[in-house]
Structure 1
Amino acid sequence: MAYPDDLLSSGEHVVIHKHPHWKMLIFPVFWLVVVVVLGIYLAGLVASLSWAPVALIVLAVVALVLVVWLTVAPVLRWRTTHFILTSDRVMYREGVFKRTGLDIPLGRVNSVRFEHSLLDRMLGCGTLVIESASDEPLEFDDIPSVEKVHTMLYREVNDNPSDDFQPRGV
């Protein structure tokens, strides 16, 4: 899914657009399976009781609340989190109801590095650390193909034609 072009300035184009790595969805899917299996098991236990209709309704409501809280909310959070590298800036957007955004102009980026553990290396993700003119380095966790993103960001910062040194009078 491409980032909306109307949010970009003129002449700016998207180089990379990523959501967080799919490993963030492991626990929400796990909890979905647990809630469904446990709900089916408990529904089977209460089915023979005299007050089964009420118990099944209560069970369904509790299961629905758990699925929304433990599965739907994290999936929506994952889906609405964007890491975007454009020809002019690095953008990070997150949030469903309360949106938060961060833009770093490429001219302000001092250094870029990445970190990933053994598990992250096996899954193909990691943490991208961008040092800019701000006080502290900014860390972006669970970036898929973090080495590729690191390389592309480094290229965009260093290959930016407006930043090239051009001596006068030569």
Structure 2
Amino acid sequence: MAYPEDALADDEELVLHRHPHWKALVGPALVFVLVTAAAGFAGGLVQRHVEGAGTTVGLVAVAAVWLALVVWRSLVPFVRWNTTHFIVTDRRVLVREGIVTHRGIDIPLARVSNVQFRHGIVDRLLRTGTLVVVAASDDPLEFDDIPQVERVHSLLYREVMDATDRREPPWRPTAGPGSADDVDRPQGRR
């Protein structure tokens, strides 16, 4: 079974699974292109101006710097993007992120009191934004770069309302003999 299905309970249903929006990868892709171009230029300079064994040492040094920068500024952000998950089930909202150390949060839908979104002009053009989930008695949790944030907002709101409808409040009295209504009424009147 693949992730996130293996993180769900037996009778829990997956409603939505998203990674952050692809705009989070624009910077790392740009860094890759620029660092590769700079490494190619530096390699050309080394071959042109250095002779003998110095050429090999210079090219290895350029390649090492290129590799370090690509891993640090391109590969790590891509893996971080790929290992960040925003999941909605019929019972909860899950967020999982991390490469070596994992971080996660689970919010039961029954505790969600408010769902909001916001996005600026660029986010609207890219169809992304920030989703804000307010759980009972907690600070608002903000999830950035959610793809199709308006659609996710609507879906999450519907799931919260469905979860609220399924839940029977423990404080609601039931009608009938022996109920709380009978205790408050005088005996002669029914």
- TM class, shorter-length: over 0.9
Query: Do structure 1's residue 163 and structure 2's residue 167 form an aligned pair?
Result: yes
Opposite residue 167 of structure 2, the aligned amino acid is: D
Structure 2: runs of 5 or more not aligned: 177-190
Q: Could you tell me the percent identity over the aligned residues?
A: 49
Q: TM-score, normalised by structure 2?
A: 0.84
> Alignment partner of 1:159: what SS?
helix
Show the counterpart of 1:18: 18
Query: Do structure 1's residue 99 and structure 2's residue 109 form an aligned pair?
Result: no
1:46 CA displacement: 0.8
Show the counterpart of 1:37: 37
Opposite residue 16 of structure 1, the aligned amino acid is: L
Aligned mates of 2:44, 2:13 — CA distance in 1? 56
Aligned length: 169
Structure ID, larger Rg: 2
1:18 CA displacement: 0.2
1:7 CA displacement: 1.6
Q: Which has the higher relative contact order, 1 or 2, with Cα contacts under 8 A spaced 6 or more apart? A: 1
Q: TM-score, normalised by structure 1?
A: 0.94
Show the counterpart of 2:157: 154
Show the counterpart of 2:125: 122
Opposite residue 29 of structure 1, the aligned amino acid is: A
Q: CA RMSD in A?
A: 1.6
> Alignment partner of 1:101: what SS?
strand
Opposite residue 4 of structure 1, the aligned amino acid is: P
> Alignment partner of 1:46: what SS?
helix
> Alignment partner of 2:131: what SS?
strand
Aligned mates of 1:88, 1:68 — CA distance in 2? 38
Structure 1: runs of 5 or more not aligned: none
